[in-house]
């Protein structure tokens, strides 16, 4: 016991200095951060935004408000001084706009313009190390590209009206290119370019390389094009807009010999066919000769014609039989129309068969293959050689014919099914009619044969009801009628039907249907034989003068009893 209690006491005294040291260390660790925070000065607010947001001049207040909102630079930690210079921590107006750099790390430069805008943006966007920190995928050669563009060359020549970085991206409230509200988002690019290029006053005096004045209707024509419809109505962001053909930072109009290459960036196969065609050395503007530039219409087969609505008409005459170009266009148009018409007709046939419930998935797949042949024929047409178009069309027509034969077999199968259905429905209808007639015949026969059975069933029910009940029977002078009529009347007496005398006609016929079958009626009223025998004995007693038996007028069903003296007296 003593050995086990001594060590804890000794260890408690030995650990006391270490415990005190541990407590002092913990208190120091807790107090050290608070002491450090107390020594660190609190950050000073950005006085640029605070001051400019309250100014009455909208030219000074609007930029501060935009920068305070959604701005990609502010969200990544950049401030006003990174572009404009000055001291953002000074509340004094003069010191905040220090143009000499005495109190600020960067001297105040105010609003940059012209080449200063390019230099201000390039200070960060041309720094690969800095951009890798914030946007690793972004290019850093925008300023170099801009210097080689039409805009950059005009700016270097002293033209301050040309577009700079802020003209397209904005100066404050700058958004990412992927932001749908950004002015350089694909859907908004054309409108952004139109702010300058659709302004006649701003564009006055600018000319193309051949000396012609630059038009201002590009945006209006582009809005009519198939590209604009695909971009805005079908939300196809891959559809071309201004910068896809002209460039963005290195914007320049495509040269005469480069138009086919520009269109070929999207329409590569068409560009290859055109490059090997007879028209390539003739068409100076390449694709623009037939399709236009900004107002590119939806291509159609009607364009391949030397007629009034064809694009071949300016160079070829459809009425001239010796014009080989017009003849080639007519031949290719005829082949393409034949294949297209076959696909449409066969497609309608297959759809009709499909709606009838017949499996046509293989035929639909074959029709898509024929559609691919049609697309290849339209592509090959840009080579303007009918001999290369005809084999492709022949392959497509063969596929269409095969699908059409399958469709006709489906129609035959559909007719067979409908005929079988009609015969089946007819047989079922005849069977139902025959069954109805048979049931009706059975019902009539049962009604005739079962009438007596129904009467007997009713009689049995009444017997159960009248069991033990006395019924007064008044015979009058009719007496016993041994024939069928008498039995019928006596049966009616038992069931409550009365007659006053034999000479008067009864008011109700209890056996309207059993009258024709005398034997069946006798068998049904056999249960009343005892009552009839009693009435016969009563008649014989009356003839003998036996008053007692002739006065008996009460009986019990299936059992006879004479009247009592009291009953005779009351009667």
Tens-place pLDDT, residues 168-185: 999 999 999 999 999 999
The pair of structure tokens assigned to 151 is: 């805009």
Strands 559-560 and 554-556: antiparallel
Selected residue with higher pLDDT from 138 and 90: 138
Task: For residues 445 and 323, state if they share a domain.
Answer: yes
Per-range mean pLDDT, top range of 204-208, 358-362, 431-435: 431-435
Per-range mean pLDDT, top range of 275-284, 416-425, 494-503, 559-568: 416-425
Give residue 500's pLDDT: 41
Residue 207 forms beta bridges with which residues?
Answer: 213
How far is 317 from 330, CA to CA, in rounded Å? Answer: 11
Q: Which domain holds residue 500?
A: 470-570
| pLDDT > 90? residue 488 | no
How far is 188 from 358, CA to CA, in rounded Å? Answer: 49
* Residue 351 forms part of a structural domain: yes
Task: For residues 433 and 333, state if they share a domain.
Answer: yes
Q: Each residue of 235-247: pLDDT tens digit?
A: 999 999 999 999 8
* Residue 385 forms part of a structural domain: yes
Contact 556, 494 (CB under 8 A): no
Q: Of 66-70, 375-379, 567-571, where does mean pLDDT reach its minimum?
A: 567-571
Give residue 518's pLDDT: 44
Task: For residues 319 and 445, state if they share a domain.
Answer: yes
Task: For residues 357 and 410, state if they share a domain.
Answer: yes
Task: For residues 560 and 505, state if they share a domain.
Answer: yes
Task: For residues 322 and 429, state if they share a domain.
Answer: yes
Strands 470-472 and 554-556: antiparallel
How far is 336 from 433, CA to CA, in rounded Å? Answer: 59
Sequence-separated (6 or more) residues with CB below 8 Å from residue 380: 273, 388, 389, 392
Backbone angles phi and psi of 474, in degrees to 5: -110, 110
| pLDDT > 90? residue 344 | yes
Contact 346, 407 (CB under 8 A): yes
Query: Read out DSSP for 210-266?
Result: TSPBPPS-HHHHHTTSHHHHHHHTS--TTS--HHHHH-STT--PPPGGGHHHHHHTT
Stretch 97-106: mean pLDDT: 75
pLDDT band at 100 (very low <50, low <70, confident <90, very high): confident
**H/E run at residue 470:** strand 470-472
Selected residue with higher pLDDT from 406 and 39: 406
Burial group, residue 343, by CB count within 10 angstroms (0-12, 13-18, 19+): buried
Q: Cα(first)–Cα(last) distance of the chain, in Å?
A: 131
Contact 47, 36 (CB under 8 A): no
* Residue 408 forms part of a structural domain: yes
Stretch 335-359: mean pLDDT: 92
Task: For residues 429 and 338, state if they share a domain.
Answer: yes
Give residue 283's pLDDT: 86
pLDDT band at 45 (very low <50, low <70, confident <90, very high): low
Task: For residues 484 and 537, state if they share a domain.
Answer: yes
* Residue 248 forms part of a structural domain: no
How far is 136 from 123, CA to CA, in rounded Å? Answer: 16
How far is 505 from 483, CA to CA, in rounded Å? Answer: 16
Selection from 367, 435, 437 nearest residue 402 by Cα = 367
Query: Read out DSSP for 36-59?
Result: HHHHSPPPPP-HHHHHHTT-S-HH
Q: Give the total number of structural domains in the chain.
A: 2
Give residue 373's pLDDT: 93
The pair of structure tokens assigned to 152 is: 């950059």
Selected residue with higher pLDDT from 19 and 224: 224
Selected residue with higher pLDDT from 328 and 46: 328
* Residue 322 forms part of a structural domain: yes
pLDDT band at 525 (very low <50, low <70, confident <90, very high): very low
Task: For residues 445 and 505, state if they share a domain.
Answer: no
* Residue 500 forms part of a structural domain: yes
Give residue 31's pLDDT: 40
How far is 277 from 143, CA to CA, in rounded Å? Answer: 40
How far is 561 from 383, CA to CA, in rounded Å? Answer: 129
Residue 516 DSSP label = G
How far is 506 from 491, CA to CA, in rounded Å? Answer: 13
Stretch 471-478: mean pLDDT: 40
How far is 174 from 125, CA to CA, in rounded Å? Answer: 14
Contact 90, 103 (CB under 8 A): yes
How far is 165 from 174, CA to CA, in rounded Å? Answer: 11
Domain final residue, candidates 420, 449, 478: 449
The pair of structure tokens assigned to 59 is: 């030219």
The pair of structure tokens assigned to 294 is: 């900004």
Taking each helix axis from N to C terminus, what angle separates 451-466 and 386-449, rounded to the nearest 10 degrees? 50
Q: Could you tell me what percent of the chain has a pLDDT over 70?
A: 71
Task: For residues 417 and 533, state if they share a domain.
Answer: no
Task: For residues 331 and 430, state if they share a domain.
Answer: yes
Selection from 535, 528, 487, 533 nearest residue 511 by Cα = 487
Residue 503: Cβ within 10 Å count: 9
| pLDDT > 90? residue 229 | yes
* Residue 284 forms part of a structural domain: no
Stretch 337-347: mean pLDDT: 94
* Residue 276 forms part of a structural domain: no
Give residue 179's pLDDT: 93
How far is 106 from 78, CA to CA, in rounded Å? Answer: 14
| pLDDT > 70? residue 49 | yes
Selection from 142, 155, 149 nearest residue 116 by Cα = 155
Sequence-separated (6 or more) residues with CB below 8 Å from residue 465: none
Q: Each residue of 108-130: pLDDT tens digit?
A: 888 898 999 999 999 999 999 99
Selection from 55, 53, 57 nearest residue 80 by Cα = 53
Task: For residues 322 and 442, state if they share a domain.
Answer: yes
**pLDDT mean across residues, the chain:** 77
Domain final residue, candidates 415, 449, 483: 449
pTM: 0.63
pLDDT band at 455 (very low <50, low <70, confident <90, very high): low
Contact 511, 517 (CB under 8 A): no
């Amino acid at each position: 016991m003593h050995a086990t209690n001594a060590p804890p006491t000794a260890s408690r005294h030995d650990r006391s200095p270490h415990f005190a040291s541990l407590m002092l260390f913990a208190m120091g660790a807790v107090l050290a951060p608070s002491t450090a925070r107390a020594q660190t000065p609190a950050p000073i607010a950005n006085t640029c935004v605070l001051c400019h947001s309250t100014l009455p001049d909208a030219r000074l207040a609007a930029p501060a408000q935009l920068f305070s909102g959604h701005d990609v630079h502010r969200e990544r930690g950049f401030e006003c001084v990174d572009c404009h210079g000055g001291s953002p921590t000074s509340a004094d107006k003069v010191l905040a706009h220090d143009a000499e750099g005495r109190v600020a790390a960067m001297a105040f430069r105010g609003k940059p313009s012209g080449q200063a805008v390019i230099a201000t943006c390039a200070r960060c966007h041309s720094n690969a190390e800095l951009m890798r920190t914030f946007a690793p995928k972004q290019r850093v050669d925008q300023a170099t590209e801009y210097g080689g563009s039409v805009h950059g060359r005009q700016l270097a020549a002293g033209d301050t009206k040309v577009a700079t970085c802020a003209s397209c991206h904005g100066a404050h409230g700058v958004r990412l290119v992927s932001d749908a509200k950004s002015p350089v988002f694909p859907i908004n690019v054309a409108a952004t370019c139109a702010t300058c290029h659709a302004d006649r006053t701003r564009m006055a005096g600018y000319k193309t390389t051949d000396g012609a004045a630059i038009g201002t209707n590009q945006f209006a024509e582009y809005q009519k094009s198939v590209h604009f419809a695909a971009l805005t109505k079908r939300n196809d962001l891959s559809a071309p807009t201004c910068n896809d053909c002209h460039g963005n930072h290195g914007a320049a109009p495509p040269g005469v010999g480069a138009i086919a290459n520009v269109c070929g960036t999207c329409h590569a196969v068409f560009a290859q066919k055109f490059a090997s065609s007879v028209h390539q050395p003739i068409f100076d503007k390449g694709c623009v000769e037939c399709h236009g530039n900004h107002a590119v219409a939806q291509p159609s087969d009607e364009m391949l014609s030397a007629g009034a609505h064809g694009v071949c008409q300016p160079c070829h005459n459809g009425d001239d039989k010796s014009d080989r170009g017009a003849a080639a266009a007519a031949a290719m148009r005829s082949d393409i129309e034949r294949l297209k018409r076959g696909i449409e007709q066969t497609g309608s046939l297959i759809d009709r068969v499909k709606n009838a419930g017949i499996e046509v998935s293989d035929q639909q797949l074959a029709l898509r293959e024929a559609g691919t042949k049609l697309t290849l024929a339209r592509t090959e047409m840009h080579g303007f050689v009918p001999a290369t178009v005809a084999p492709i069309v022949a392959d497509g027509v063969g596929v269409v014919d095969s699908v059409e034969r399958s469709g006709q077999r489906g129609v035959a199968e559909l007719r067979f099914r409908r005929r079988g259905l009609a015969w089946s429905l007819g047989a079922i209808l005849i069977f139902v009619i025959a069954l109805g007639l048979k049931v009706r015949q059975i019902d009539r026969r049962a009604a005739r044969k079962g009438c007596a059975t129904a009467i007997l069933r009713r009689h049995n029910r009444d017997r159960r009801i009248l069991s033990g009940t006395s019924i007064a029977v008044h015979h009058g002078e009719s007496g016993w009628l041994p024939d069928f009529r008498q039995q019928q009347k006596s049966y009616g007496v038992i069931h409550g039907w009365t007659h006053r005398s034999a000479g008067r006609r009864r008011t109700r016929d209890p056996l309207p249907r059993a009258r024709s079958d005398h034997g069946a009626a006798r068998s049904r009223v056999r249960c009343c034989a005892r009552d009839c025998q009693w009435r016969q004995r009563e008649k014989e007693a009356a003839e003998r003068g036996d008053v007692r038996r002739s006065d008996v007028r009460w009986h019990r069903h299936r059992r006879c009893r004479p009247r009592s003296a009291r009953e005779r007296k009351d009667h």
